[in-house]
Every structure is written in C-alpha cells, then in structure tokens.
Structure 1
C-alpha cells in the first residue's frame, strides 16, 4: 500500500499530481511547470513512483509519467478508513465523557 502521506506531504509533489491529472506528461513538460531544477523534480517523481502513485513509461528518448489511478483509489480508501477510525474513537470518548457526567460537572 502506498504511503500517501509521504507522497502528498510536499506541495511540489501535489502540484505534479495536479499536472498529471490533466493527462500524461513528459519529464520535460513537468519540469517546465516549475522554477526548480530538473534533478529536484526527478527526485519528487521518484518518490511518487516509489509509492506507486504515478508510473513511468519510456517512448523513444522521452520518459512519460501518468497517474496510477488504482493506487490512488486504494490510498484514498485507506485514508478514509483511517480517518473514520480516528473519528469513531473520538466520538466514543465523547460519549463516555458525557455519560459520566463530565459536561454537567464543568457547568457547575
């Protein structure tokens, strides 16, 4: 499962994903959208590939990058599940607090 937090934790990588949302792009096209060096962009692309969020294909001398939609969907579902579990835990804690009269005690 991809580490979506690592992949999306950087604004440059989020911007790369937004660019790829519009369609497959060459490395050159991606680099031209930024004011940072090609090696820096390549490092971000490598992280996105390591996490399975994007894929790379070679056509002639060009590297073409595209979104890995299945991986993104799985990461999205995993994140929703994780956030749901966090919220469930918080709601249970709140319910227990209220049932024990915690709210009433604070008003007195």
Structure 2
C-alpha cells in the first residue's frame, strides 16, 4: 500500500491516473497530454505499474495502459478507514 501512496505523491502520476480514469490509453496517447519527454512518461508509467496502480497489455504494436481498480479501491478503503477512525473515542 505504501508504494501506491508514494506513486501518487507526484502530480504527473496523479494526472496520468486521471487520464486513465476515463479510458485506457497507449503510452503515446498519455504522452500527448504532457510537455515532458516520452522517456519521462515511461518512467512515471513504470512507477505506477510497480505500485500496481496501472496495468499494461500489449495490443499489436501498442502497449495499452489501464487502471488497476482493485488496488485503487484498496488504497481508498484504507484512506477512508483512517479518516473514519480518527476522532473515535476522543
């Protein structure tokens, strides 16, 4: 879970997550939304994959990225649980 929060600490990676929320995208389609280099986008995608927040699938010559909703739901559940437990008994 810590990897997920660390990955989400970067604004570029959060923006990639936002893009993938709407639909699955190739690395090139993701890169089109940024002014940083494609190798930098690839680095961000790799960190998101290592944190299991996104998954990739080869489709022909392209690699298509999608959200791993299971991990995102786990992270949100943990986060909301932390908010919900704060203040109990105080």
What TM-score does the superposition give when structure 2 sets the normalisation length?
Answer: 0.89
2-structure distance, mates of 1:64, 1:83: 34
Q: Summarize deviations over 1:54-106 as a string: whole Å, max 9, x none.
A: 10001111010000111100110011122334x237x62xxxxxxxxxxxxxx
Higher share of residues assigned helix: 1
Q: How many residues align?
A: 90
Q: Could you tell me which residue of structure 1 aligns to residue 11 of structure 2?
A: 11
Tell me the CA shift for residue 2 of structure 1.
Answer: 5.5
Tell me the CA shift for residue 4 of structure 1.
Answer: 2.8
Unaligned runs of 5+ residues in structure 1 are 93-108
Runs of 4+ in 1 over 3 A off after TM superposition: none
Unaligned runs of 5+ residues in structure 2 are none
If asked which structure has higher relative contact order (CA below 8 Å, sep 6+), I would say: 2
Kept in 2, the 8 Å contact 1:2–1:75? The answer is no
2-structure distance, mates of 1:82, 1:39: 36
Q: Could you tell me which residue of structure 1 aligns to residue 51 of structure 2?
A: 51
Which structure is larger by alpha-carbon Rg, 1 or 2?
1
